[in-house]
A = this chain, B = another copy of it.
Amino acid sequence: MRKSYLMTPGPTPVPSEVLLAQAKPMIHHRTPDFSLVVRECVSGLKYVFQTEKSDILIFASSGTGAMESAIVNCFSAGDKVLVCYNGKFGQRMAQIAKAYAVDVTILEYGWQTCVNPSDIANHLQANPDTRGVIITQSETSSGVLNDVQAVGEIVCNYPDCVLIVDSITGIGAVDCKTDEWGLDVVMTGSQKGLMLPPGLAAVSVSAKAWRAYERSSLPKFYFDWKKYLKNLEVDTTPFTPAVSLMIGLSEAIKLMREEGIQNIISRHERLAKATRFGCEALGLKLFAPPNGRGNAVTPVWVPDGIDGKKLVSIMKNKHGVTIAGGQDDYAGKIIRIGHLGYFGNFDIITTLAALEMTLMELGYEFEAGSGIRAAETILMEDSK
């Protein structure tokens, strides 16, 4: 017997309460019992998305389905959109938009640089006919947190331009004030801060985004927002929903309401800070820039002379701790420690201890226990 720890930025660990709720006997989706589940999921996600004004729509799909839904419901072929990215998933939004013949302009930053809101302001000033700005709030691949609040302040001045925020790895880990910040479309996936298995995705849709919907002529059916909205009026879904995942979501939402959204975000801040301090105490260098470090995932450079893939493999196979490696250009060069969703103080301690033991085995020189010590300081301070 060896206990396993899933320290990746999605899928994330699922609480037993949620796993067991999902294991209940199947019920039919066109019943009052399931309508209660739909209502609780929608109202719970409004709470988590911090919105009262936007509609919440839930799809049986991965997060990528929600991303595609934002494109096909807001735009027409040839519409000008600006996609800003500093990582793999932001890039995917550009790929989806291009697949639908949307006219994409890209603001590409390195994976270690935050999106600069002034660049967006300048672009919109020069191109006032832009129909959408697309940005990732918390980039899974690079750990970078972009300032979507600042972008919201810019885009709100353009009545025909919607702000689309991929917060798949953000919601539930970093603050995301959908209404207050003027975010027109925000999306998330179930296997992240919502503490569920993958298979559900959700979007919030503002009044401005609904106006974009009315203009949009891109073909759509399964992800057609209006079909979902119309069915929500009678607490149901246009197509068979992922019943067990929805029941799991209603259970996860109970847990989130109990803790409170601001407390959830503070917990993530504490865990992220402890992870960063722990890694730095070991002499490791953080990957994300100081002005853009999110709470969901901490990417760290693999030290010189150490094989990054071997590090991840020893962590998993010897210690049972699954972390993520780098993606694309950073494969083998960085590791990514996820702390997004159902995580507590001792998950960070466990991971840092496994990291210390792995680094020792690989011949990296440092003072054993120093990472844990640094993390403890943060975890104690912030738990006061």
**A-to-B contact residues, CB < 8 Å:** 4, 6, 8, 10-14, 19-20, 22-29, 31, 59-65, 67-68, 95-96, 99-101, 189, 191, 197-200, 218-224, 238-245, 316, 322, 324
Contacts and interface: CB of A to CB of B under 8 A. Distances in A.
B11 A239 contact: no
Given A221-B64, A221-B99, A25 B6 contact: yes
| Chain A contact residues: helix, strand, loop or mixed | loop
A239 B63 contact: yes
Contacts of A68: 221-222
B60 A199 contact: yes
Contact of A242 (B27, B240, B242): B242
A6 B22 contact: no
13 contacts: A4-B27, A11-B243, A61-B222, A62-B241, A63-B240, A65-B65, A65-B239, A68-B222, A100-B221, A191-B243, A198-B244, A199-B199, A199-B245
A117 to B, nearest CB: 28
Contact of A29 (B11, B28, B242): B11
B25 A22 contact: no
Nearest to A201: B60
A62 B60 CA distance: 6
Contacts of A31: 316, 322
A241 B100 contact: no
Contact of A22 (B22, B100, B218, B221): B22
